[in-house]
Amino acid sequence: MAVALVLIFLWRNDPSAMTQDAAYHVALAICPPFFLVRVVSVLADSTLAIVLTAGAIVVANGSLYAGLAALGFWIVSIRRSRGAIQ
């Protein structure tokens, strides 16, 4: 979630730099829900839209990495239990 917050902070301080091709692709590699920035950049008429989008990005990024951590834990627990049985 901290990564998403840092990316949102950078986007709000310098929107043109964060929506350029190279920076945008790096941000997407680190935080896939950051793709919503391009949508909001076009439609950002109100502060509420920006706040809701930022919240969605943070929650989606946290959920994504929580799922990856659960998958990793499951793989490690399966491997350890197989080693103990044999």
Q: Spell out the domain ranges in the chain.
A: 2-85
Burial 31-56 (b: 16+ CB within 10 A, else e): bebbeebeebeeeeeeeeebeebbee
What tens digit of pLDDT does each residue of 49-74 get?
888 888 888 899 889 999 999 999 99
CB 21 within 8 A of CB 38: no
Phi, then psi, of 19 in degrees rounded to 5: -105, 5
The average pLDDT across 32-53 equals 79
pTM higher than 0.75: no
